[in-house]
Amino acid sequence: MSEPIASHAEGIEIEDIGSNPNPARPIGEVIAARYGRRALLGAGAAAAALAASGTAGAQPQAPQRPAHSSGNTPDGGPSTLTFPELRHQLAQGDAVAEGYEIQLLIRWGDPILADAPEFDVARQTAAAQARQFGYNCDYLDFFPLPRGSRSADHGLLWSNHEYTNTNLMFPGLGAGRAARSRTNAEQVAVEIAAHGGSIVEVRRGSDGRWRYVRESRFNRRITGETPMRISGPAAGHPRLRTKADPTGTRVLGMLNNCAGGRTPWGTVLTAEENINLYFGGEAAANGPQRDHYRRYGILREAVYGWGRFVDRFDLDKEPNEPNRFGWIVEIDPYDPESVPVKRTALGRFKHECCTMALCPDGRVAFYSGDDERFEYIYKFVTARPWNSDDQAANRDLLDEGTLYVGRFDDDGTAVWLPLVHGHGPLTEANGFHSQADVVIEARRAADLLGATPMDRPEDVEANPVTGRVYAMLTNNSRRTAQQARGANPRANNIHGHVLEIIPPMVQGRPDHAATEMRWELFLVAGAPGFDAGARYHRATSANGWLSCPDNCTFDSKGRIWIATDGSPETSGVADGLYAADTTGRGRALTRLFYQAPTGAEVCGPCFTPDERTIFLAIQHPGEEPGSTFERPLTRWPDFREGVPPRPSVIAIVKKDGGVIGT
């Protein structure tokens, strides 16, 4: 997510205020110390040899032409990806590589429950929105039907609904943040209902087209008011108790769900991210939890003015309500009657994701990024193995385990520091009276342990082929030259980079439970030859470079597919989906596959099991400081007068029915 308070030019983002008060040893200093004297990613014959073997970071890139030029090599160089590379663009519509087809699957407001009305943008109600597909789709996941099968043409599609663009949803409210202060009570109720997530049954027909099943018994909306259970160490803690829930174990809804993940036992993990947007009041400046609020970016004036109509968003009336958000939520997509569960053992912060990796002993590791400048990368390792033969045994597996935060040392060592009550400074002397306090204040606990502040850690995913872990570090425009101290990362790092974390091998398998790993750089974003420090494979074309890596996924060949968020502001091209080999001669040779309509972010890349379809969430089309309901930047995907842009899920297939990318 990337939405400005006033204007993109001001470089101020409402979700990313930089609340770490003392970002000691940011990752820029660490990388500069490690790479500064050997030209960042290696040079000359040694670097070329390592890259060819798939064991080094990206090779130095020769200068290329800027955006909007061609410059492709005829055969894509040494890349194993065979699609013709798309040209960079910034347009009202979207585009995909030649030989592929974009299919519109579902849009904001499309009815998904049997009693849902048709979408009527002029007559929106909360009751209708709670039965229709929500706003700003983000993380996607495909769950085959029947459960346990490998079906690739029939399944359940999960979608997060992160936040709402008030100025594009309702007429007459104007542009920007000010629109949110003009909403009435019914419009606020619509926005709350538009948050959360959706589960829809989808099928690919004999004509090759994907459609959703409107009245499926599986279809479900999770909203900002859906009752949920709180579990784990923070459940019942006094800081989670409210007037409406004196037990501290029940909460209404989930908010700002960005990316996510899944479990090996077939449930969705959806991540609450920028929860600071929704809460405000004088207590933020003067209340007993003011320091705690400040560490999570909660200010006196909420970005969303919901507290004018709903007491639980007013800190002066419900000071503990924010502590009930910022968690990982587990949901069973196959059971529409199941109660979502907030799993507090995984810590409270601005979770971008929660992605799994199996350990050699059967335990499961889950990686998360805390999406804010100078915040941290975390992982959680379950206390016991998951049971593939008894799904019931896995029901509360996420309530017991160890939460870690990452420290990335100058010598290339990655150390995972346990956030465990009683460990090091995590004691009563520092205000941690139990593990509940540690997970509620995970950020402060990580501060005290000396974790490495990163450049907006977003998606963190393990490559299923190599076991290496890739962290999307989207950007950090607030790094100073003194903090950078070297070739890369850069001061005013507006383009971001991708970190590669290498776990040790145990009996031929990557050990994601290990507390010591190695790290390298996979690529450094920006336009080679024009943005200082940008580095890719030397054959990357003038259309293959990217800016602001955000989400990623992998195909069965171990190739990475990177979605971006922020390219229009940083590089003048639309956000898109890029792919690259992670090993071999084409390592870090990124190629442009898809570009979104103007103002939109590409989210949630998700393959079907046969990899003949990739689903993408196209979030906030037309988002721009001056864009309004009446005069949007684009009217994608309907392109009808009077209809604003509608966040949507698309399916991309190869026209010949083949596997994506090959």
Instruction: Tell me the mean pLDDT in the region 630-656.
Output: 97
Average pLDDT over residues 504-513: 96
pLDDT value for 35: 62
pLDDT at residue 485 tops 50: no
Model confidence at 6: pLDDT above 50: no
**Which residues 6+ apart lie within 8 Å of 178 measured at CB?**
none
Residue 436 structure tokens: 């509940």
Lowest mean pLDDT segment, chosen from 84-93, 96-105, 510-519, 524-533: 524-533
The overall average pLDDT reported for the chain is 90
Both tokens of 191, joined, read 């926005």
C-beta of residue 645 within 8 angstroms of C-beta of residue 92: no
Output the pLDDT for position 15: 64
Q: How far apart are CA 451 and CA 213, in angstroms?
A: 46
Per-residue model confidence (pLDDT) at position 478: 84
Residue 529 has a pLDDT of 86
- Of residues 459 and 7, which shows the higher confidence score? 459
Residue 108 token pair: 């904001």
The 10s digit of each residue's pLDDT in 569-616 is 999 999 999 999 999 999 999 999 999 999 999 999 999 999 999 999
Helix, strand, coil shares, percent, the chain, to 5: 15, 30, 55
Which run of H or of E encompasses 44? helix 44-53
pLDDT higher than threshold 50 for residue 11 = no
Could you tell me which residue, 2 or 300, shows the higher pLDDT?
300
What does 488-503 look like in DSSP terms, one character per residue?
SSPTTB-S-EEEEEEP
* Four-residue CA torsion sign, 505, 446, 271, 335: positive
Q: What is the pLDDT of residue 66?
A: 38
Q: Chain-centre distance of CA 236, in angstroms?
A: 29
Q: What is the mean pLDDT of residues 192-219?
A: 97
Q: Is the pLDDT of residue 480 over 70?
A: no
Please check the confidence at residue 304 and state whether its pLDDT lies above 70: yes
Helix/strand/coil (H, E, C) string of 183-229? Answer: CCHHHHHHHHHHCEEEEEEEEECCCCCEEECCCCCCCEEECCCCEEE
Phi, psi torsion values for 322, nearest 5 degrees: -60, -30
pLDDT tens, position by position, 30-82: 666 666 533 343 322 333 333 333 333 343 333 333 333 333 344 567 999 99
Average pLDDT of 525-552? 93
Q: What is the reported pLDDT for 157?
A: 98
Joined tokens for residue 38: 């050997």
The fraction of the chain above a pLDDT of 70, given in percent, is: 88
Q: What is the per-residue pLDDT for 13? A: 52
Q: How confident is the model at residue 411 (pLDDT cuts 50, 70, 90)?
A: confident
Which tokens go with 242? 């409210």
Q: Helix (H, G, I), strand (E, B), or coil: what is residue 221?
A: strand
Q: How far apart are CA 348 and CA 318, in angstroms?
A: 18
Look at residue 565 in the predicted model and tell me its pLDDT: 97
d(CA 65, CA 67): 7
- Residue 532 has a pLDDT of 81
DSSP characters over 310-325: -GGGBTTT-TTGGGG-
3-state secondary structure of 571: helix
Question: pLDDT tens across 138-187, in order?
Answer: 999 999 999 999 999 999 999 999 999 999 999 999 998 899 999 999 99
pLDDT of residue 306: 98
Q: Which of 344, 350, 319 is nearest to 329 (CA)?
A: 344
